[in-house]
């Protein structure tokens, strides 16, 4: 008899558009017919790698950056595929808080002005927090999770904030970001 039904194939893991720091992340999939042939290709799609149907893609060392993986299944008459994109990010966000307002002075009157800029070369920031401590307890003043601009291959989260402190009393400023 002639098989007119294509196998079904589903990539179960990682979820599409996953961000990870795992360079050895496996690509797990299910296929409805284990008797046909299966193969996958990644990134450039210039080379196919044959795998036994139902055998997950393991042992690949992924470089930092975005990866696109397509897995195919064929029963001899029909074929199907599923695709997933994920990003390996090994670089922590960088930030610069040396851009002080006031021509090099860190204070004007009793107000401290500071410009903090985070950059990340692969993914967007998940979140950031600006906090101060003048009384012995940290207080979060600014939180965010939205990029404000992209220039070239770099994403920027730029914020300006003002912290009012007590004159003559030492206070600490902390800036944290997660990608």
pLDDT in tens, 55-93: 999 999 999 989 999 999 998 888 999 999 999 988 877
In this predicted model, what pLDDT tens digit does every residue of 35-52 receive, in sequence order? 789 999 998 778 899 999
Asked whether the predicted pLDDT for residue 137 surpasses 90, the reply is no
Residue pair 73/38 in contact (Cβ under 8 Å)? The answer is yes
Whole-number pLDDT of residue 49: 94
Asked whether the predicted pLDDT for residue 108 surpasses 60, the reply is no
Q: Which of 128, 132, 143, 136 is nearest to 174 (CA)?
A: 132
Whole-number pLDDT of residue 134: 72
Distances (CA, A) of 31 to 55, 59, 85, 151: 10, 20, 19, 41
Has this prediction a pTM greater than 0.75? no
Whole-number pLDDT of residue 1: 63
User: What's the CA angle centered on 136, arms 179 and 140, to 5 degrees?
Assistant: 35
Residue 63: how many CA atoms within 13 Å on its side-chain side?
3
Looking at residues 129-138, what average pLDDT do you find?
Answer: 73
């Amino acid at each position: 008899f002639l098989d007119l039904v294509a196998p079904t194939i589903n990539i179960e893991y990682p979820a599409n558009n996953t961000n990870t720091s795992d360079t050895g992340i496996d690509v797990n999939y299910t296929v409805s017919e284990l008797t046909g042939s299966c193969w996958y290709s990644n990134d450039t799609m210039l080379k196919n790698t044959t795998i036994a149907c139902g055998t997950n893609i393991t042992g690949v060392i992924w470089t930092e950056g975005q990866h696109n993986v397509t897995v195919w299944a064929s029963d001899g008459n029909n074929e199907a595929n599923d695709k997933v994109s994920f990003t390996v990010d090994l670089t922590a966000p960088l930030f610069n808080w040396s851009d002080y307002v006031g021509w090099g002075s860190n204070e004007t009157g009793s107000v401290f002005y500071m410009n903090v800029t985070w950059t990340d070369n692969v993914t967007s920031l998940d979140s950031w927090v600006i906090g101060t401590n003048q009384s012995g307890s940290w207080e979060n003043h600014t939180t965010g999770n939205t990029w404000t601009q992209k220039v070239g291959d770099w994403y920027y989260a730029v914020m300006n904030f003002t912290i009012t402190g007590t004159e003559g009393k030492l206070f600490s400023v902390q800036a944290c970001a997660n990608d």
